[in-house]
Structure 1
Amino acid sequence: MPSLQSFNAWLAHCPEPRLRAILNTRRDLLRRDAANTQRIAGAAGTRAGVARGLESLDTGALQLACALAVRSRVTPVVSFDELPAGLDPRAFDTLADTALIWPAGAESQDSAEPASMRWRIQSEAVSLLPTSARDQSNPPAWLHAEPPRAPVMAPVSQAIARNAQAGAAAQVVGDIVALVREVAARPASQLVKGGIGKRDLMSYASRTGAGAHRSVLLLELAGRLGLLGVGGPDADPVWLPTNVFESFAAGDRAAAYARVVEAWLALPVEVGQVVAGRDGTGAVVHALSSLGHSPTSPFSGFPISQPVMPLTRYLLLTDLDALGARGGFAAAAAAIVEDFTWHHPLLPSADEPVLTEILAEAEYLGLVTTPLARPDSFGLTPVGVRLAAHLAGAMPRSGNPLPFDLERLTVPQGWTDLVAGLLPPLERTVVLQSDLTAVATGPLEPTVATALERVADVETRGQGTVFRFTEASLRRGLEDGLSAADVLALIAGAADGPLVPTLEFLIEETAARMHRVRLAPARSVIVVDDPDDLTQIVNEPILLTAGIEQLTSTVATARVSQERLAELLAAADIHTLGAQSEHTTTLPAPITAVAPIKRRSLRVGDRELSDFEAALLTERATGTPGTPAAPVTVADRLREASATGAEVVLETVSHTGEVSQLRLYPTAVTAGRVRGLRVRGHRGAAPAPLRAGAAGLSEVSLPLARIRSVRPAGEPGGTTPNPSAKGTEK
């Protein structure tokens, strides 16, 4: 067997440039209270440490890591000429700097070409990567992917980019306000598991004309902005606007747009999954169901350490900037997806439908745009370029190998002033047309838009809005308590000119067909203008359960609530006018301010890195080169023995609490278990060859939780206790 060295031993005497590269790349392994290579090596060999290193690799480096892991199942020492052809030898340096591989021999080989050296790989990589025969028979797409080709850029005029970002900034805030007002008009019951049901969602999508995907996005943004909350009676809680909604709707549009963009960046859900009703793990999801708790990853697959969807949006914006899809150029969506999946192959959201949906959302928000006649190409708008550059510079370097921090997903300074200069002035009037439509030539002032939406349907939203008056829309206003005179006055106040005769006629006819039946604000009092109308109501079979009692020729009472009586009258095709006075309103849902969580971290910051490096180099210089301190945990000791081929003595605890000993040559420590060759009746030097079936050796697999202590064979003391071992006696 060739001479071996563990990662712990190599890190203790590796060349200083390589050590500095590891410290700068793997800042997640460093702690201010542990400036020694032993702790760094132990953290790098854990499952979480290896997973964080792997998730930062691009496809080329990941293909090399996977090939090394597959070969290490046969032999712990791997050279480049043993690997499949077509791999990039330059990725050896990337893997070494990420603390995933190290030179196998005890002698220093760092001065040689990486492709000519013998390497070892962290054992946890074997279980995290597709290394088994079953995995290899159905390999992931990245395993045989080719490097992406340079995309062909399509030109985007500056005028189109400016109009796109200005129109989006004006529209998205208005769309959110309109949808929240629709929720206020028709509150949706909260589901038992939280969120809004599919029927209510489709109702909102139909009434606003936004479609299912856009409605889900708007609802989730409104929820994250604190504009929607749960209120109403405890027996039947419903979703309602919160007490901050009106200030948001009437506040500064540029500031509101900035809040919307920040909410989108941090949104934890994938819109397509919410529309479908299930996420990538098979769990049932609904709109707004992620509010109130920390949602789990919406995707199965590789265990990414960061929130998947916020990370994906951040990476997609910054990758577009790096790809050159900015400053008047756009790349095809297929090329963007190909480039993204090459650089982030283990990200479970690196899938064409998901990335295409995010690009569509970013276009809706005005962060990207498409050139004329090329709707399949996307490029960053000027505000998108500024946001991408800000995010790339804001992410910390002291976190994971892939720099990302959810709390730093913010817009840059001066963003509000930049957006304010793009927004067109608000319109306060609309142009009435003979086809029963009203056209706003620009974004409407919120109070005017809200008033018109009470009596008209919105046909088109955008920088301008088209309202259409129909019998159903006018009836909605009349049922809401307005009289025909109120409706005429409302429209006249918003019109830039006289009322159209056809519209006046429609309003009067609609009011006349509603039989002039009025519901008084008192509990179920019916007031009619014509005694014949009350006679019809009293004799209507559907209304027998209402317990109607006639008081006069035009007044009657009922034993049911006003809302229930209105439903029964509608079922009898008797339309009613709402109460003009004391019109009941639903109180807004309260919003609870959550105190920010203060976290204390032992991570090494940018300012502390030089001092940490100096302390670590001093620790290495004062110790014996190549002989680091003994590992302090069972897993570390087993990894050390596995890396060097050493024999250890384990104390294990059975499920009944019985303690026993066994001698073992560990071969791998992965996924919370140790695999190795158990020694039976053998003393002295290890048998050759060291494999299952050799004299006195048999293969075993043990959970680490059952190991109470471990010590090198031949040493009476020096045991390493495992405080988490099940059944340990106290």
Structure 2
Amino acid sequence: MATFTEHLRALGVDGLAALLDRRRDLAAPPPASVRALAARAGTRASLDRALARIDTGTLAGVEAVVALPPPVRPADVSHAVGAHADVWLGVAEDWGLVWQDDDGLHAAPGLSDLLGPHPAGLGPPLAETLARRSTEALATLAAEVGCTPTELAERLADTATVEGLLAEAPIGARAVLDALTWGPPVGRTPRPGTPGAGAVGWLLRTGLLAVGDPQHVVLPAEVALALRGGRTRREPPTPPAPTVVEVDSRTVDADAAGRALETVRLVGELLELWGRAPAAVLRSGGLGARELKRVAAALEVDAGTAALLVEVAGAARLVAEDGEESPSFCPTTVADDWAGDDAAHRWVELVRAWLTAERAPWLVGSRDEAGSLRGALDSAHRRPWVPRLRAAVLGALADAGGRVDAADLHTVLAWRTPRSAPTEHAVQAVLDEAAVLGVTGAGALGGPARQLLAGWVPPDGTEPTFTPTAVLGAAAALSQTLPAPVDEVLLGGDLTGVVPGRPSDALEALLTDVAQVESRGAGLTVRFTEESLRGALDRRSAPEILDALASHARGEVPQPLRYLVTDAARRHGQVRVGSGAAYLRGDPAALAGIEQTPALRALGLRVLAPGVLISPTEPAALLEALRAAGLPAAAEDAAGTVLHARPTRHRVRHTPMPVPDPEVARRRLLRVAGDLVADTGGPAAAPVPPADGTPEPSEALAVLRAAVGAGTEVWLEVASPGGTTRRRVRPLLVEGGRVRVLDQQRAAELTVAVHRIAGAQPVDGPAGVRVDRSADGPVEDGEAWTDH
């Protein structure tokens, strides 16, 4: 039989590169040889990661290869699972979980341990259970069955033999076997004299049951298979058929486009908000609940949507901590470049950041295991599995081609990845976030998002990547869906304005500056008030505001609006704030009694002279407080000139989120595969075992795992900087690329890396194995043995 290492070597450059592409953990860091790759592929962590990515049908095929007695042929697996399994076996082989040679199908080393002691609900093999019996008991049982002791295991695995024995069984014997046939195969031994004790005793004597321990009996695997008719599954694995509601693609894209524009607008408002007044960072890290409520109120959204927008902005590197002594969240320099791009590309950047972010915004506001409140932008709450969850949910939605509810999607995902199926709550959360961001529309996947997902390589131990074509294609698809921007506003005599469509960036910036937004939808409706003009009058004069409105108005600016702007400009600055500590200067009539106003008492205002007051408050805070009280205050310089100031914009230097190219990653994997093949002399080269053993690492691990199960000792040889050391130890655990052993002579528990094991041999047992480490490179990790 070929070994697993020989199978990997025979894959050649392209085959190894494909395996490394599916199981990225095997390539980081690059293995020194194919033998080292085989050892890494057989570790529990790597196998568990691979099993988490295969579907129910493939998992059923893998279980059958592990559970069925050898030799296992593809036809045997198809019969065992009740369906044609060639495709599933091909997938399992692509993932390095099984391989095939002239002797049949074989499971990857370590796979049987990972699937547990009872794969497919089957117990230990007959060879193991019969070996526990004495020679006399085996001879008696063989005589009863009508064969020699060496033929006993083969006969008891025969369906006709089992049925023949059961035909003479006492009452209750078949019921006991029926209870154990489909697993679990372990049952409690009844006390003597109780119902069932006689039936269990008879089954033990005939070999149809075996003693597991003093308290339990176990059904041998071959007997269970004979009773099942050779099946490992009661029902054939069948993919679920979710209920799909068809939605017109134009409706989907229109709804998604509207939500995408709203997302871009809200993120832009968040940047403006934090640019003027950065949000404080909690002492424990992240954004506080009070600040999140402030964001939600300013953006006029609920707390969940506010948390999502904040998280997406952080993932896109549009906001970050400023690194000050009292840190705050504020926009980055990347935000300025982002704001200058068109709406479609801005949306793509946000969605790309959301897809790859390792945080779950839906958990913001909940409590962790320690009872602490989870905050937004808190780096302590990373979830590396979240990008894969988003990829799985949106991939299933894309395959459905319509609207599917969370319950049906959860069923689909449970079939696709049964060992890592998400909760229905998490699936619903991803759908909700996708709807807010415009990834979906009317419950179905939008066209632009479908373009982006087509070029997305979700992470598997490496950085997620997008093809540049997918990024550009998604932006182009959204641009085609969005209505053309409108650069005109219909100004009414009632001091309102209506933009009949999607306003251009310049028009929206103007209206947001000088008016109050009343409604958004198919168009934009605004109202002009004296309050809405006050901020604009800080930055431009009345003629400048009227000229800007006239350049976008359809027709002339209505007379009532011109009067409003002129009157607001005339009253603007009747009360002036200047620097000193801070002072107020203005018309004595306008300032009369202002220091007695209850809302302004906290400012500490004192009258110095008619029309002049002073306050210990900073000018900016004083100006804001006066305007909040309804006074048309303005700032002035030392010469008494009204300042047309630009708002303060806080920024922190940052780099944009990179767009890794999957082609670069593919070429790197090809180089790693080429190095492996070159190191071993090509795909057809056969390994040369050392004089005292075999180069197969999985065999050494098999010796260690067997010793763990039996609680016996082994001679363990480990490569170290000074050569090879040999100790007599009792293995305790083989897991995660490490072996934990007990050295009784030194009274210490030790841990050794699997890739440093050079040999393993049972004490007072058959010859063990020795692994050739000559091709694994020099030892770099210092001491090979580590004391706990």
Task: Give the TM-score, by structure 1 length.
Answer: 0.68
* Structure 1 match to 2:126: none
Which residue identity is paired with 1:592?
Answer: H
Q: Quick one: distance in 2 between partners of 1:706 and 1:246? A: 49
Q: Quick one: distance in 2 between partners of 1:309 and 1:239? A: 24
Q: Do the aligned partners of residues 575 and 429 (structure 1) sit closer, same or farther apart at CA in structure 2, a change above 3 Å counting?
A: same
Question: CA offsets, 1:174-200, max 9 Å, x none?
Answer: 332223223334432222344332222
* Structure 2 match to 1:174: 265
* Structure 2 match to 1:424: 483
Which residue identity is paired with 1:356?
Answer: Q
Q: How much does 1:444 deviate?
A: 1.8
Q: Do the aligned partners of residues 126 and 409 (structure 1) sit closer, same or farther apart at CA in structure 2, a change above 3 Å counting?
A: farther
Q: How much does 1:526 deviate?
A: 0.3
The answer to whether 1:450 aligns with 2:539 is no
Q: How much does 1:310 deviate?
A: 2.2
Q: Quick one: distance in 2 between partners of 1:581 and 1:425? A: 38
* Structure 1 match to 2:426: 354
Q: How much does 1:147 deviate?
A: 4.3
> Residues 149-548 of structure 1 correspond to what in structure 2 (within 5 A)?
149-231=240-322, 234-274=324-364, 276-278=365-367, 284-290=373-379, 297-298=382-383, 307-321=384-398, 323-325=399-401, 329-347=402-420, 350-370=422-442, 378-391=443-456, 395=457, 405-408=463-466, 411-432=470-491, 437-462=496-521, 464-468=523-527, 474=532, 477=535, 495-496=553-554, 516-520=574-578, 523-531=581-589, 533-539=590-596, 548=605
Q: Do the aligned partners of residues 363 and 46 (structure 1) sit closer, same or farther apart at CA in structure 2, a change above 3 Å counting?
A: same
The answer to whether 1:123 aligns with 2:212 is no
Q: Quick one: distance in 2 between partners of 1:166 and 1:597? A: 23
The answer to whether 1:554 aligns with 2:606 is no
Relative to structure 2, which stretch is displaced further, 583-592 or 702-711?
702-711
Which residue identity is paired with 1:286?
Answer: G
Q: Do the aligned partners of residues 616 and 636 (structure 1) sit closer, same or farther apart at CA in structure 2, a change above 3 Å counting?
A: farther
Relative to structure 2, which stretch is displaced further, 669-678 or 334-343?
669-678
Q: How much does 1:629 deviate?
A: 1.6
* Structure 2 match to 1:592: 654
Q: Quick one: distance in 1 between partners of 2:347 and 2:659? A: 26
Q: How much does 1:354 deviate?
A: 2.6
Greater share of residues in helix: 2
Which residue identity is paired with 1:255?
Answer: H
Q: Is the 8 A contact 1:546 1:560 kept in 2?
A: yes
Q: Quick one: distance in 1 between partners of 2:431 and 2:660? A: 34
Q: How much does 1:581 deviate?
A: 0.5
Q: Quick one: distance in 2 between partners of 1:601 and 1:25? A: 13
The answer to whether 1:55 aligns with 2:47 is no
Q: Quick one: distance in 1 between partners of 2:237 and 2:368? A: 29
Q: Do the aligned partners of residues 434 and 636 (structure 1) sit closer, same or farther apart at CA in structure 2, a change above 3 Å counting?
A: farther
Question: CA offsets, 1:38-60, max 9 Å, x none?
Answer: 32331122232222222222234
The answer to whether 1:629 aligns with 2:676 is no
Which residue identity is paired with 1:649?
Answer: W
Q: How much does 1:272 deviate?
A: 0.8
Aligned partner (choices 720, 725, 728) of residue 785 of structure 2: 725
Q: Quick one: distance in 2 between partners of 1:701 and 1:101? A: 37
Q: Do the aligned partners of residues 25 and 480 (structure 1) sit closer, same or farther apart at CA in structure 2, a change above 3 Å counting?
A: same
Which residue identity is paired with 1:451?
Answer: L
Q: Quick one: distance in 2 between partners of 1:597 and 1:491? A: 40
DSSP-derived class of the 2:785 partner = coil
Q: Do the aligned partners of residues 500 and 389 (structure 1) sit closer, same or farther apart at CA in structure 2, a change above 3 Å counting?
A: same
Q: Do the aligned partners of residues 597 and 261 (structure 1) sit closer, same or farther apart at CA in structure 2, a change above 3 Å counting?
A: closer
* Structure 2 match to 1:578: 634
Q: Is the 8 A contact 1:440 1:464 kept in 2?
A: yes
DSSP-derived class of the 1:618 partner = coil
Q: Is the 8 A contact 1:268 1:308 kept in 2?
A: yes
Q: Quick one: distance in 2 between partners of 1:355 and 1:145? A: 26
Q: Quick one: distance in 2 between partners of 1:545 and 1:35? A: 72
Q: Do the aligned partners of residues 414 and 186 (structure 1) sit closer, same or farther apart at CA in structure 2, a change above 3 Å counting?
A: same
Q: Do the aligned partners of residues 456 and 617 (structure 1) sit closer, same or farther apart at CA in structure 2, a change above 3 Å counting?
A: same
Q: Is the 8 A contact 2:574 2:632 kept in 1?
A: yes
Which residue identity is paired with 1:207?
Answer: A
* Structure 1 match to 2:162: none
Q: Quick one: distance in 1 between partners of 2:331 and 2:8? A: 61
Q: Is the 8 A contact 2:50 2:95 kept in 1?
A: yes
* Structure 1 match to 2:751: 704
Q: Do the aligned partners of residues 210 and 9 (structure 1) sit closer, same or farther apart at CA in structure 2, a change above 3 Å counting?
A: same
* Structure 2 match to 1:655: none
Q: Is the 8 A contact 1:31 1:602 kept in 2?
A: no
Unaligned runs of 5+ in 2: 122-183, 185-233, 636-641, 719-724, 774-778
Which residue identity is paired with 2:36?
Answer: R
* Structure 1 match to 2:714: 648
Report the identity percentage: 25
Q: Is the 8 A contact 1:482 1:578 kept in 2?
A: no
DSSP-derived class of the 1:191 partner = coil
Q: How much does 1:562 deviate?
A: 1.9
Q: Report which of the two structures shows the higher radius of gyration computed on alpha carbons.
A: 2
DSSP-derived class of the 1:287 partner = coil
Q: Is the 8 A contact 1:102 1:120 kept in 2?
A: no
Q: Quick one: distance in 2 between partners of 1:129 and 1:243? A: 56
Question: CA offsets, 1:553-585, max 9 Å, x none?
Answer: 1122233322454577689x5745232415363
Q: Do the aligned partners of residues 128 and 518 (structure 1) sit closer, same or farther apart at CA in structure 2, a change above 3 Å counting?
A: farther
Q: Is the 8 A contact 1:30 1:603 kept in 2?
A: no
The answer to whether 1:110 aligns with 2:174 is no
Q: CA RMSD in A?
A: 5.9
Q: Quick one: distance in 2 between partners of 1:717 and 1:339? A: 45
Q: Is the 8 A contact 2:693 2:768 kept in 1?
A: no
Q: How much does 1:32 deviate?
A: 11
The aligned length equals 644
DSSP-derived class of the 1:439 partner = strand
Q: How much does 1:525 deviate?
A: 1.5
Q: Is the 8 A contact 2:20 2:27 kept in 1?
A: yes
Q: Quick one: distance in 2 between partners of 1:663 and 1:269? A: 43
Q: Do the aligned partners of residues 34 and 466 (structure 1) sit closer, same or farther apart at CA in structure 2, a change above 3 Å counting?
A: same
Q: Quick one: distance in 2 between partners of 1:645 and 1:15? A: 34
Q: Quick one: distance in 2 between partners of 1:369 and 1:338? A: 22
Unaligned runs of 5+ in 1: 137-142, 299-306, 371-377, 653-658, 681-699
